Amino acid sequence: MPMLQLIYASRPFGYDLNMLVNILATSRARNARSNITGALICRSDIFLQLLEGPRAQVEATFERIRADDRHVEVTPLVTEPVQDRLFPSWSMKHDPAVSWMWSPLEIHLGALASASVMDIRAIFVRSAQAEDS
C-alpha cells in the first residue's frame, strides 16, 4: 500500500535539550500509535524531519507540527508517495545534525532553499544507512 513521505524544515523556537527530549518522547509515542516512522535531524538552528506512513496520519501529524509554537517557519520540502519506508523500525529516530549536513552559516545563507529534492532526501538516506551499518 502506498504511503506518504513528507520532509519539512523549521526553525526551533526556544531550543534546548529539555525541549528536544520532550519532542522525541511525545512524537515516538504518537507516531507508534499512528503507524508513522521517520527521523528528526535537529540542532539549535534547524529541525529537518522526515515523516512516513499512511497519508491521513502523516498529514494530521504535520498539521500538529505546524501549530506547535516550538516550530517557526515550518516549510514542507518534499511530499511524495512511497512504497517502502526509509526508517521502518523507528517511530522517530533522533539524528543530531552532523558534519555532512549544512553548517549554520550555510543554512543562514539559504542552502536549504537552494537544495534539490534529491539533496534533501540524500540526507535521510545517509541517516538510514548509518543505522544499518
Q: pTM higher than 0.75, yes or no?
A: yes
Query: Phi/psi at 122 (nearest 5 deg)?
Result: -60, -35
SS3 87: coil
Cβ contacts of 78 within 8 Å, gap of 6 or more = 5, 6, 7, 117, 120, 121
What does each of the 133 residues of the chain score in pLDDT, given as a tens digit? 679 999 999 988 888 888 888 888 888 888 889 999 999 888 888 889 999 999 999 999 999 999 988 889 999 999 999 999 999 988 777 766 665 678 889 988 999 889 999 999 998 888 888 765 4
Cβ contacts of 122 within 8 Å, gap of 6 or more = none
d(CA 60, CA 58): 5
The CATH fold assigned to 3-132 is Alpha-Beta Plaits (3.30.70)
Radius of gyration of the chain (CA): 14
